[in-house]
Amino acid sequence: MAANSRLLELASPLGLEAETLELLPLLPLVYVAWSDGEIQAEELSVILEFAETRGLKSETSLELLQGWLDARPGEAFFKEGLKVLSYLVASLPADEAKAAAGDVTELCDAVARASGGLSGHTINIDASERLALRKVAVRLDLGSKPSTRVALQKILDTALDL
């Protein structure tokens, strides 16, 4: 089974399909924003700016993203989404995987800092947001580290039910 087909299969329970798979890199940003129980206006602005920068134009994708922003998806949704994102990162060439992981991590940090006050210093990032940042970093690290990429790529290449 091709990696793209496998990614679609893994992303399907998240409500993602071929047209909306482009939302996957935004999922960790939404997760960090919701981690303290609410999305602040500043966090929303960072997320929407990133969506625009990525060229998100599909009405279906925009509606799905808006749904994630309007009502917090459950913890299981985010856990599964971060897992699928690590598979996506692992499916990229090594240099792209490392860059993608770094970019998403930086954007998640920007979301957390957006409502931090005092120029967004780390000290003002809520404890729940710091925990969310750590979870995102771990998942992205799994997808970009040479030692785990091979295992994740093998999973993508199999028809195993996870």
Query: Domain limits of the chain?
Result: 1-161
Contact 87, 152 (CB under 8 A): yes
Can you list the pairs that 100-106 forms with residues at least 24 positions away whose Cβ atoms lie under 8 Å? 100/25, 100/140, 100/144, 101/140, 101/141, 101/143, 101/144, 104/25, 104/28, 104/29, 104/136, 104/140, 105/133, 105/136, 105/137, 105/140
Residue 77 has a pLDDT of: 97
Task: Record the pTM.
Answer: 0.84
Full pLDDT tens readout for the chain, 162 residues? 344 788 899 899 999 999 999 999 999 999 999 999 999 999 999 999 999 998 888 899 999 999 999 999 999 999 999 999 988 888 888 889 889 988 999 999 999 999 775 554 555 788 899 889 988 988 888 777 776 766 666 665 664 444
Whole-angstrom distance, CA of residue 31 vs CA of residue 27: 6
Q: Count CB atoms within 10 A of the CB of residue 126.
A: 15
The pLDDT assigned to 2 comes to 44
| Residue that has been written with the tokens 């790529």 in this structure | 153
Which pair of structure tokens corresponds to residue 81? 């989404």
